[in-house]
Structure 1
């Protein structure tokens, strides 16, 4: 998995949509992503998560989930894994101004995750550029894993 993610966040900056090009209601292009056990383990290690439901297969098999699952906050990793490098949400200088998430079912190793994402609205308040957006993650069976709405402040 290492090397799969770009670390030069400015690399594709000139191809990203600017404020005037963001169209409320327009779906953002997204990519399917196969969630691996390795990705879950690396994510858990990065955020200090030690719950055995995410890391210990024997424990997880005895649980109500009958197998390993990903932590709900994995949507952070999925947000970037499911969007191309030129996505406007990846623009350096973007500020998270708030978000709300609902979690339906856990993601699991081996799931093919897809994302439906769009801007819902954009407005200017106190000379700052805001975008309201929603994101819905699905597994390969079309089941909603989680969905969220957020507000971001866009760089000028």
Structure 2
């Protein structure tokens, strides 16, 4: 239903989750792995890569969320990044469908997502389009 908030779950982002995500996508930036390097950087400590929102999208939604329905296709997305997520952050997601429509006999959904840390700061926000299975 457009405008209705989706059910989401808080998620504590661990260093291990960041490292596993980075290894799975081939990310090797020392800001994500090397504590000494990260401490000397402008970030003052380890951070997660901006694309961590991919992991967070699944970690912050229950298994029965409509976006996780088998056959759902990502039809495009646009993200804005504000501050990096860090190991130990408790991440929350505010998500909702904005619109849905039929095109070429397929159901399209436009949705927005905003990730926050435990201080209420926006980590990143995005708008996406998905094609839902029949």
Identify whether the pair has TM-score above 0.5, normalized to the shorter chain.
yes
State whether structure 2 residue 5 is matched by structure 1 residue 27: yes
TM-score, normalisation: structure 1: 0.85
TM-score, normalisation: structure 2: 0.99
In the alignment, which residue of structure 1 is the partner of 2:24? 46
Structure 1: which 5+ residue stretches go unaligned? 1-22
| Whole-angstrom CA distance in 1 between matches of 2:97 and 2:42 | 36
State whether structure 2 residue 70 is matched by structure 1 residue 96: no
Matched positions, count:
134
State whether structure 2 residue 84 is matched by structure 1 residue 122: no
State whether structure 2 residue 75 is matched by structure 1 residue 77: no
Please report how far the alpha carbon of residue 128 of structure 1 lies from its aligned counterpart in structure 2 after TM superposition: 1.1
Structure 2: which 5+ residue stretches go unaligned? none
Match of 2:40 among 62, 65, 73: 62
State whether structure 2 residue 118 is matched by structure 1 residue 140: yes
Which has the larger share of strand?
2
Taking only aligned residues, the RMSD between alpha carbons, in angstroms, comes to 0.3
Deviating beyond 2 angstroms after TM superposition, the runs of 4 or more aligned structure 1 residues are: none
| Whole-angstrom CA distance in 2 between matches of 1:87 and 1:94 | 11
| Whole-angstrom CA distance in 2 between matches of 1:115 and 1:90 | 15
